[in-house]
Amino acid sequence: MALKNDNANLTSSPASSDLENNTVEPKPDASTGRTIGSIRWALVCLSLYISIFIYGLDTTIAADVQGSVVEAFGHVEQLSWIGSGFPLGSVSVILLYGTLYTAFNMKWIYVASMVIFEIGSALCGAAPNMDALIVGRVIAGCGGSGVFMGCLNYFSSLTTPEERGLYIAGTGFCWGIGAVLGPVIGGSFVESSASWRWAFYINLVIGAAFAPVYILGMPSVRPVTDLSVMDRVKRLDFLGFLLAAGVWNSFTIAFTMAGGQWHWSNGRTIGTIVAFVAVLAMYAIQQTFSILTTPENRSFPIHLLRSRTQILLYIGTAANVTAMFVVVYFIPIYFQFVHGDSALQAAVRLLPFVVVTVSFNLSAGHLLSKIRYYMPIYVVSGTLMTLGSSLLTAYLDPKTPAGLIYAFTVITAVGAGLTLQLGYPVATLKAPKHMGDALALQNIAQIGGIVISLVIAGQVFQSTVTSNLAKVLEHTGFTDADIQSAVAGAQSKIFQEISRELREQAILAITQAMQRSFILVCIGGGVLTISGLLMKRERLFGDVVPVGA
C-alpha cells in the first residue's frame, strides 16, 4: 500500500486539523517534497529521535536497578522478567504495528503507541509488587515497539531518497545511545535520593515535555487507498498476529519459569514447552498456507525466506545482539560482586564498551559506503565477537585485573558495533521492492534476538549460580530463599554474615556462573561468523544507504 504525505498545518486552527477530511494541503517544498516548514520539521525530528532514545534506554535500564527491586519486593526467582519483559512486549506486537502504519493514519498510531508506552512506564514506577512491575514492563514494551516502528515509517515517508539514509541512521544512533546508557542512567537513579522508580518515571517527564509536538505538530501520513477504514481492518491478519504473540510469550514463560520457579520435570514446565512448540507449528502452517488471510496480508514476510541473503542477515542480526545485551546485563553484576562497586560505579565501568559499540556502529555505515561489500564486515564482526567473548569466558575471574576485563569487552564491542544495525540498510538494498518487509524481518531479528539472549542467559546464570552457591554454603544453615536472594546483590545478608574465606568462595561461584552465560556470546559470535562466510561475495550497487535502525 503506497503512502501519501498529508501534512496539514495542525497548529493554525481547529478547522485545519488532520481529523477533518477536507484539509487543504500547503504546497510541498521543491527540494524535499515536505509540506511542513523547516522549524516544524526540526521539532518533529527532535521529538522522534528523543522517543527512539527513551525506547533504547528502557531496553536496558533495568540492568542496574535489579538489586534495588529485589530488595524492595523480594521474589528473586522473577528477576529475569524485569529485563526480558520489555523486549517481550515489543516483539509480540511489532508485526502488528508494521501493518497498522501502512494501513491507517500514521500520526494517531504513533500517538497511541506513545500513550501505551507512558502507561507502562507509570505502572513500573508506581509498582507495589514484582508482578505489577513485570506487567508494566511488558505494556511499556508494547508501546515502545509502536514508537520505534513509527519513527522508521515517518522518516521513510517524509524524506527524499537522497536524505533518507542520514535520517534513518540517526534513529539507529539514538537507539544505540539509549540502549548502552540505560545501565548508567539506571544506576544513577539507584544511587540518588530519587530511587530506582525514577528510572521509569523519567519517561513520563520526557513524554510530557514533547507531548505538544506529538499531538499538534506531527504530520499526518495516510495510505493511498480507496478502501474504507472497516475494509482495511478486515484485511488484518488477526490470527497471525495472535499466534506470533503466542509464540514469543510461550517461549519466554517456558524458559524463564523452568528451573527457577518450576522444576524442569514439573508438569507446568513440560506443558508450556509443548505449548510453545505447538503454537510455533500452528503459526508456521497458518502463514505458509495463508489460513484466514491472504498471501498479500499475512503478518510474517515469509516470501523473503526464499532469499539466502535475507535469511543470513536475519540470523546475523539475531546473533549479534547477544553480545551487546549479555555484556550490558552481566558485567555490572561482576563488578558489584568482585570489586564491591555501587550500582552507578559498576555501570560507569561499561563506558568503554558503550563508546566503542556506538563508534563502530556509526562507522560501519561509512565503511559500507566505501567498500560496498557487506560480507567481509560480517566475518570480521563475528570473529571479533567470538574472540572477545571467548577471552571473557576464559578469564572472567575475581583475580582478573579490571583492565583486562575492559580490553575483552572492547574487543567484543568492536565486533558487535560493526553489525549491530548493518542488516537494515543491506536488507533494504537487497529487496528494494519489499523495503517494509525487509525492515520488519530485521526488527524481528533484533528485538526477538534480545528476548532469546536474555531468557537463555538468565536461565543459564540462575540455574548455575544457585547450584554453585548451594555447594559453597552447604553447611551454613542458609535456606534456598537466602541463597537465591544472594544472587540479586552483594549486599544480601549472606555476604554480610559469612566469613571472608566463604565470601571469596561464593564470589568465585558467582563468576563461574557468569562464565557459563558468556558462552552464549561465543556461540552468537560463531553463528555470526558462519553467516558471514555464507553470504554472497557481491558488491552492492547504487547509492549505499548509511547504517540505521
CA atoms within 13 A on the CB side of 438: 22
Q: Is 308 exposed, middle or buried (0-12, 13-18, 19+ CB in 10 A)?
A: exposed
Q: What is the structure's pLDDT at 29?
A: 57
Q: Which of 89, 82, 91, 84 is nearest to 131 (CA)?
A: 82
CA distance linking residue 469 with residue 379, whole number of Å:
39
Tell me if 536 sits within 8 A of 430, measured CB to CB: no
Share of the chain above pLDDT 90, in %: 45
Q: Is the per-residue pLDDT at 536 higher than 70?
A: yes
In the block, which residue shows the cell 562497586?
Answer: 341
For the chain, helix, strand, coil in percent to 5 are 75, 0, 25
Q: Is 284 exposed, middle or buried (0-12, 13-18, 19+ CB in 10 A)?
A: middle
Q: What is the structure's pLDDT at 147?
A: 95
Q: What is the structure's pLDDT at 22?
A: 37
Determine the residue type at 168: I
User: 181 falls in which pLDDT band (50, 70, 90)?
Assistant: confident
Helix (H, G, I), strand (E, B) or coil at 17: coil
If one compares 329 and 133, the residue with the highest pLDDT of the two is 133
The Cα-based distances of 439 to 257, 262, 301, 443, 449 in angstroms read: 32, 37, 10, 6, 15
CA distance linking residue 132 with residue 124, whole number of Å:
7
CA distance linking residue 67 with residue 65, whole number of Å:
6
If one compares 64 and 327, the residue with the highest pLDDT of the two is 327
Q: What is the pLDDT of residues 290-334, one digit of tens each?
A: 999 999 899 999 999 999 999 999 999 999 998 888 998 888 888
Q: What is the structure's pLDDT at 257?
A: 83
Under DSSP, the state recorded for 539 is B
CA distance linking residue 375 with residue 533, whole number of Å:
7
The conformational region for residue 259 under phi > 0 = left, psi -120 to 50 = alpha, else beta, is: left
Q: What is the pLDDT of residues 328-344, one digit of tens each?
A: 888 888 898 888 888 78
Q: Is the per-residue pLDDT at 166 higher than 80?
A: no
CA atoms within 13 A on the CB side of 195: 9
Helix 79-103 with 38-60: angle, nearest 10 deg: 150
Q: What is the structure's pLDDT at 218?
A: 92
65 CB-near residues (< 8 Å, 6+ apart)? 82, 186, 187, 189, 190, 196, 199, 343
Helix (H, G, I), strand (E, B) or coil at 220: strand
Average pLDDT, the chain: 85
Q: Is the per-residue pLDDT at 363 higher than 90?
A: no
Q: What is the structure's pLDDT at 114?
A: 97
- Please give the torsion angle defined by the CA atoms of residues 168, 310, 449 and 289, in that order, rounded to the nearest 10 degrees: 120
Helix (H, G, I), strand (E, B) or coil at 537: coil
Instruction: Return the C-alpha cell found at 361.
Output: 556502529
Q: Is 161 exposed, middle or buried (0-12, 13-18, 19+ CB in 10 A)?
A: exposed
* Stretch 28-51: mean pLDDT: 80
* Stretch 380-389: mean pLDDT: 97
Q: What is the pLDDT of residues 479-535, one digit of tens each?
A: 777 777 777 664 566 777 788 888 888 889 889 999 999 999 999 999 999 999 999
Share of the chain above pLDDT 70, in %: 90
* Stretch 186-200: mean pLDDT: 89
Tell me if 486 sits within 8 A of 494, measured CB to CB: yes
Q: What is the pLDDT of residues 203-227, one digit of tens each?
A: 999 999 999 999 998 998 888 788 8
Q: What is the structure's pLDDT at 481?
A: 72
Q: Tell me the range of 61-75, 150-164, 443-457 where mean pLDDT is highest.
A: 443-457
DSSP 95-128: HHHHHHHHHS-HHHHHHHHHHHHHHHHHHHHH-S
CA distance linking residue 329 with residue 352, whole number of Å:
15
